[in-house]
Structure 1
């Protein structure tokens, strides 16, 4: 009898499941006759194509290749930014040094011309004052970041009658060439976060 009860219990349970399954099939609109599924997006529409393009673009950009491309692009933009920001200041410094140098040379010439070198002690004293003023100005320029490389490069290129590899003169290119700016930006990015 206990076996019958268990079997009856199982069959009741199966019957309940079948009844439950039938009820849900009648409620599901996909199982009714004449049912047409709702139309999905048209794969030929411009909106669908744009959506797929955006999805693929985002998936690519956040993949390994995309991230590497973004980092390289960021470094290139940073290099151009450093060149734009720093080259103007460097050019101004170079022009200031040239102006002071030329003024010192002119002052020395005037002293030599006025004293006619017949009075060596007066000439030495006047030239010494001019050289000290020039030294003070050079120290000030060095404190502001001038390194003297531009002037050396400029005089060498004038002696050789050539320009630098970038096509400009040394005064305008200076230390912030594209390769130097790129390397600096790469160094900044790789040291962040440590």
Structure 2
């Protein structure tokens, strides 16, 4: 009996154990649900980042993060040349005063000669200090958010304006790391945005082309009513259409930058063309004339120190500074979209060039074949003449 009881209890125990094991396996399934959700979210996020919208959002986020990083790093730089310029200004002012006391204004020739010599010396000293990085502005005024954002854009797009450079060792090292990861990201954006814009512009051009061609559309409708699928003719976007798109885009930027940056139309057009061509001389850069918070603080301090200062000027600076963020966003989007349009024109014009090259190759083959046939028709086949003489 005990052995029989044990034999009966052991299967029951096995089933119970199996039931417990099944319960444990079932209970372990909900614990894996958060991990699967995290994996699914990561997979969806990576898939979204590989799309055109994701790449565009990523490059904007990368540029904004880089701007804040450069602002934090470069604003800690202590510009020693500013103190040197101040000492030079006081020194040469004192020398000019000494010359004035010595020669008096009655001896105009000697006073002019001595003054010119001192000013030439002062000019040479200032030129040497400028070569060492003196720009006449504090790091807070130089590295404003608009300027830092345009600097990041010039780094990742490989334009390299050169109007502002990192001065600290940490800033130089961070620039190398930032460019190492930013340039491949920009190339990915350039290629993906070029494909998307080229596909969209080709669809728009094909739709407009079909609207102008009335008879082919009626033939296609008749074929669809008859149950026959009609092959659609391939439409190639001409290069002139791409050039017109770039021209109107540059013209829009010319008017925009001339209005906001107070440039002439020639300088604005010059900046747009050199930037889209990635030349980047750096003599004209948007954001340099924007009113920053440091400018407002400097005007506030001047108003506190100078009683004769106009409070309306400070109020105007504050209102202008509050309106700069929208201009900054539009400038940034204009540059990125312009690079995308250049990539679009590259893809469309490459397709037309390939088609023209294929047509030229076929025409060359036909021309060579026609020349050979004409030569054979005029002179005959030399091999046939040789065989006739032999036999």
TM-score normalized with structure 1 length = 0.51
> Of residues 103, 106, 109 in structure 2, which corresponds to 1:115?
103
Hey, what does 1:162 align to over in structure 2?
none
Distance 1:95 1:60 in 2: 55
Distance 2:70 2:33 in 1: 41
Distance 1:131 1:53 in 2: 73
Q: Cα RMSD (Å) of the superposition? A: 3.7
> Of residues 130, 133, 141 in structure 1, which corresponds to 2:121?
133
Q: CA deviation at 1:135?
A: 0.7
Relative to 1, partners in 2 of residues 1:59 and 1:88: Cα closer, same or farther, differing over 3 Å?
Answer: same
> 2:51 aligned with 1:64, yes or no?
no
> 2:165 aligned with 1:177, yes or no?
no
Asked if the contact 1:83/1:177 (under 8 Å) is kept, the reply is: yes
Cα deviation digits, residues 1-49 of structure 1 (max 9, x gap)? xxxxxxxxxxxxxxxxxxxxxxxxxxxxxxx966343245364x6x964
Relative to 1, partners in 2 of residues 1:101 and 1:145: Cα closer, same or farther, differing over 3 Å?
Answer: same
Q: CA deviation at 1:185?
A: 0.5
Relative to 1, partners in 2 of residues 1:139 and 1:71: Cα closer, same or farther, differing over 3 Å?
Answer: same
Distance 1:144 1:42 in 2: 66
Asked if the contact 1:61/1:67 (under 8 Å) is kept, the reply is: no
| Helix, strand or coil at the partner of 1:41 | helix
Asked if the contact 2:71/2:148 (under 8 Å) is kept, the reply is: yes
Residues 133-142 or 61-70, more deviating: 61-70
Q: CA deviation at 1:95?
A: 4.4
Q: CA deviation at 1:179?
A: 0.8
Superposed, 1:100-111 pairs within 5 Å as 100-111=88-99
Gaps of 5+ in 2: 1-13, 159-182, 188-391
The higher-RCO structure (CA 8 Å, 6+ apart) is 1
Distance 2:78 2:46 in 1: 38
Count residues in correspondence: 139
> 2:174 aligned with 1:187, yes or no?
no
Superposed, 1:34-183 pairs within 5 Å as 35-36=18-19, 37=22, 38-41=25-28, 43=30, 49=34, 51=35, 54-55=38-39, 58-59=42-43, 61-65=45-49, 69-87=57-75, 91-147=79-135, 150=137, 171-183=138-150
For the pair shown, the structure with the greater C-alpha radius of gyration is 1
Distance 2:101 2:90 in 1: 16
Gaps of 5+ in 1: 1-31, 151-170
Relative to 1, partners in 2 of residues 1:79 and 1:115: Cα closer, same or farther, differing over 3 Å?
Answer: same
